[in-house]
Amino acid sequence: MARFARDWQVLFFEDPMADAAEPWLEIRHEEGMQVLVPHLPPDCRGPAASAALRRLLDGHLAVQPPQRLIERSPDQYDWSGFLPMLRAAQERGQQVIWDICHYGWPDDLDLWRPAFVERFAGALARLLRNEGIDAPFYSPVNEISYWA
């Protein structure tokens, strides 16, 4: 991204940190970019977190399902931590770009096999469809890496 920052204004939104008494936005300047890090209270979750992020980021909201917390064992999903974010975005009419591969993937999946897509992305697609989202947008990879 630093290459683009030579010619364009680049803002990079980091994941929220749960380490503040009150919501605040840290702004750092790195390699010509502005890096924005929202800091939220540890107990700020669901609709309250979405509202705080919206205020801090002036309408920009980054939400990703934390796969490592949702799929604790193969094909067994716990969406309870993710559904409040999903529903808060729906209530506000926000179009979210769902980041599928943000914190890695389960150890028993091979990135280069069809099962990766069927299991890893399929569970999220089924959930979104069941929640009434007919045409979701996906970003398969958040950070560029050697396999992207």
Query: 3-state DSSP: the chain helix, strand, coil percent, rounded to 5?
Result: 30, 25, 45
pTM (2 d.p.) = 0.50
Region 98-110: what's the mean pLDDT? 69
Burial 42-81 (b: 16+ CB within 10 A, else e): eebeeeebbebbbebbeeebbbbbebeebbeeeeebebee
pLDDT value at position 44?
A: 95
Residue 62, pLDDT above cutoff 50? no
Mean pLDDT of 101-129: 77
Residues 98/124, Cβ–Cβ less than 8 Å: yes
Q: Is the pLDDT of residue 23 over 80?
A: yes
For the cut 70, the answer to whether the pLDDT of residue 43 exceeds it is yes
Question: CB of 111 within 8 A of CB of 101?
Answer: no
**107 pLDDT exceeds 80?**
no
Task: Answer yes or no: is pLDDT of 18 > 90.
Answer: yes
pLDDT digits (tens, 9 = 90+) for 65-102: 555 557 777 778 888 877 887 887 788 777 777 766 65
| The pLDDT of residue 17 | 94
